[in-house]
Amino acid sequence: MRSSISCVIASFGLAFSALSGALELSAHCPPAMRVDDSGHCKLHSRYQSYASLYDKGVGGLKTGLPPWRDGFTAQQIDLGRLLFFDPLLSSNQKVSCSSCHDPALGFSDGRRKSVGVTGKPIARSAPSLWNVTFMRRLLWDGSKHTLEEQMLGPLYSPVEMGTTPEMLLRRLQSSEAYTALFNEAFGRPSPTLEDLYSALAAFQSSLISLNSRYDLYAHGVAGALSAREIDGLNVFRSFVARCAECHTPPTFSNQQIAVLGVPERDGDPLDIGAQATTGDASQRAGFRVPSLRNSALTAPYMHGGNFDTLRETVAFYTGGRGHAVPEGEDLKLHWHIWTPELTDRELDDLVLFLNALTDQSFLPDIPDELPSGLPPGRAIAPQARAQSRIVVGD
């Protein structure tokens, strides 16, 4: 089993022909996908054989997936992989998507708040991109609806990548290597911005994590979880803790906006979340429910890196409804935010269960070199790579 998995991984994303030194795009779909008759890569998961109850608010063990994006070609996905790591896409040529969404940190950056071209922290923390293909609401405040729409934010924000459409197009079109690769992926004589956006969306849609030990358990392998992890799962889906009402399997997010009343830290003012983009006062400090898959890798947690560890994060939920809401704020807390009075042991079990949601078996290759010749961007000096794993003695 192990060797066949690593074999699949090794065949994903062979972008370079090492012998010739020439750049080539992979002709193989990523391992989470199968090629269809027309040469497009389509998602392939056991969950597709279960009925989808998406939008019905239930997420039992054998619930199907919400809608997703796929249908790109292997070459488009692989070109997107190179672009994702390439700092050529930023004004100072030092920041890439992967600088804040580093595969080694669950496609996050280990910081409370991300840092872009200005070198200063921006407003929020970088979420994981695993399974982003299933998200119909993007960003912490849920204000964007497609990957293409979302990426205009970081690309052209002066505090993230700081580039402009003109600068970006000029750089891509004047690169011989990129011109050849865009041509291979999209069949046009020179790169266009639309093709750039499609390639980045294609790559992000290929980041699938549905093979954790939890998934094995859900598919019927009873021994895949330990007794304590099963206890954690039972707390998670109990009507006392209510976690699964919002973090609904199999994606562990019902994608709705919920108001929790998470405390800001470092003296930061309240982040008003979805209210800022919808104008709806009932969504003040409301955030889109994040997925919890691979969250063991993405400390610190919540929209502003508000908690350092998973243990602190789950303990927040048992602190009492509204316990951290600043004085003078009247937040419309979600009705599933209550006071479950979980014991220390139950909180430990929840964390053990969350750790069983880790699966990076389809981690894409991090390129050694890029068409631009620049070094691939990685998250630098994470301030708060907190240890979220706990040691539980029995």
Q: Is 363 in the site for ligand HEC (CB under 6 A)?
A: no
CA dist 114 and 300 (Å) reads 11
Q: Is 99 in the site for ligand HEC (CB under 6 A)?
A: yes
Please work out the total of residues on this chain that contact ligand HEC, with binding judged by CB under 6 A. 54
Say how many CA atoms lie within 13 Å of 366 toward its Cβ: 15
Q: Which two tokens stand for residue 30?
A: 């990523």
Stretch near ligand HEC under the rule CB under 6 A, chosen from 25-33, 291-299, 358-366, 384-392: 291-299
Q: Which is nearer to ligand HEC, 114 or 211 (CB)?
A: 114
Least Cβ distance, residue 29 to ligand HEC (angstroms): 20
CA 55 distance to own-chain centroid? 21
Q: Which is nearer to ligand HEC, 247 or 284 (CB)?
A: 247
Q: Which two tokens stand for residue 109?
A: 């950056």
Q: Is 79 in the site for ligand HEC (CB under 6 A)?
A: no
3-state class of 42 per DSSP? strand
Least Cβ distance, residue 3 to ligand HEC (angstroms): 32
CA dist 291 and 295 (Å) reads 8
Of 91, 150, 206, 212, the one binding ligand HEC (CB under 6 A) is: 150
Q: Which is nearer to ligand HEC, 50 or 238 (CB)?
A: 238
Stretch near ligand HEC under the rule CB under 6 A, chosen from 15-23, 44-52, 129-137, 212-220: 129-137
Of 25, 135, 357, 370, the one binding ligand HEC (CB under 6 A) is: 135
Of 182, 214, 287, 362, the one binding ligand HEC (CB under 6 A) is: 287
Please name the residues in contact with 202: beta carbons below 8 A apart, sequence gap of 6 or more. Answer: 72, 73, 76, 77, 79, 80
Q: Is 126 in the site for ligand HEC (CB under 6 A)?
A: yes
CA dist 29 and 75 (Å) reads 8
Kind plus residue range of the DSSP H or E element containing 182: helix 176-186
Q: Is 265 in the site for ligand HEC (CB under 6 A)?
A: no
Q: Which is nearer to ligand HEC, 213 or 311 (CB)?
A: 311
Stretch near ligand HEC under the rule CB under 6 A, chosen from 39-47, 120-128, 170-178, 368-376: 120-128
Q: Which long-range contacts (CB under 8 A, 24 or more apart) does 320-325 make?
A: 322/261, 323/261, 324/261, 324/262, 324/263, 325/261
CA dist 57 and 234 (Å) reads 17
Query: Given CA atoms 107, 113, 117, 119 in this order, what sign does their dihedral have?
Result: negative
Q: Is 358 in the site for ligand HEC (CB under 6 A)?
A: no
Q: What is the DSSP string of 130-174?
A: TTGGG-SSBSTT--B-SHHHHHHHHHH-TTTT---HHHHHHHHHT
Footprint of ligand HEC (CB under 6 A)? 95, 97, 99-101, 114, 116, 122, 124-127, 129, 132, 135, 138-141, 147, 150-151, 154-155, 160-161, 200, 204, 241-243, 245-247, 258, 260, 262, 287, 289-290, 292, 295, 298, 301-303, 310, 313-314, 317, 334, 336-337, 350
